[in-house]
Amino acid sequence: MERTLITGGAGFLGSHFCDYLIEKGHEVICIDNLSTGNMENISHLLGKKQFSFIQYDVTNYLHVDGELHNILHFASPASPIDYLRMPIQTLKVGSLGTHKALGLALSKKARFLLASTSECYGDPLVHPQTEDYWGNVNPVGPRGVYDEAKRFAESMTMAYHRYHGVETRIVRIFNTYGPRMRLEDGRALPAFMGQALRGEDLTVFGDGTQTRSFCYVDDLVEGICRLLSSGEVYPVNLGNPDEITLLELAHRILGLTGSRSRIVYRSLPEDDPKVRRPDIGKAKRLLGWEPQVSLDEGLQRVLPYFRKKVQ
Q: Which residues are catalytic?
A: 146
CB 24 within 8 A of CB 18: no
Rounded distance between C-alpha atoms, residue 177 and residue 189, angstroms: 8
CB 307 within 8 A of CB 180: no
Residue burial 206-218, b: 16+ Cβ < 10 Å; e: rest: eebebbbbbbbbb
Burial of 199 (0-12, 13-18, 19+ CB in 10 A): exposed
Rounded distance between C-alpha atoms, residue 50 and residue 130, angstroms: 38
Q: What is each CA distance from 186 to 10, 14, 79, in whole angstroms? A: 19, 19, 6
Rounded distance between C-alpha atoms, residue 235 and residue 155, angstroms: 11
> Does an H or E element contain 211, and which?
strand 211-213
Rounded distance between C-alpha atoms, residue 187 and residue 299, angstroms: 15
Rounded distance between C-alpha atoms, residue 25 and residue 39, angstroms: 22
CB 188 within 8 A of CB 247: no
Q: Spell out the alpha helix ranges (H) of 27-86.
A: 80-85
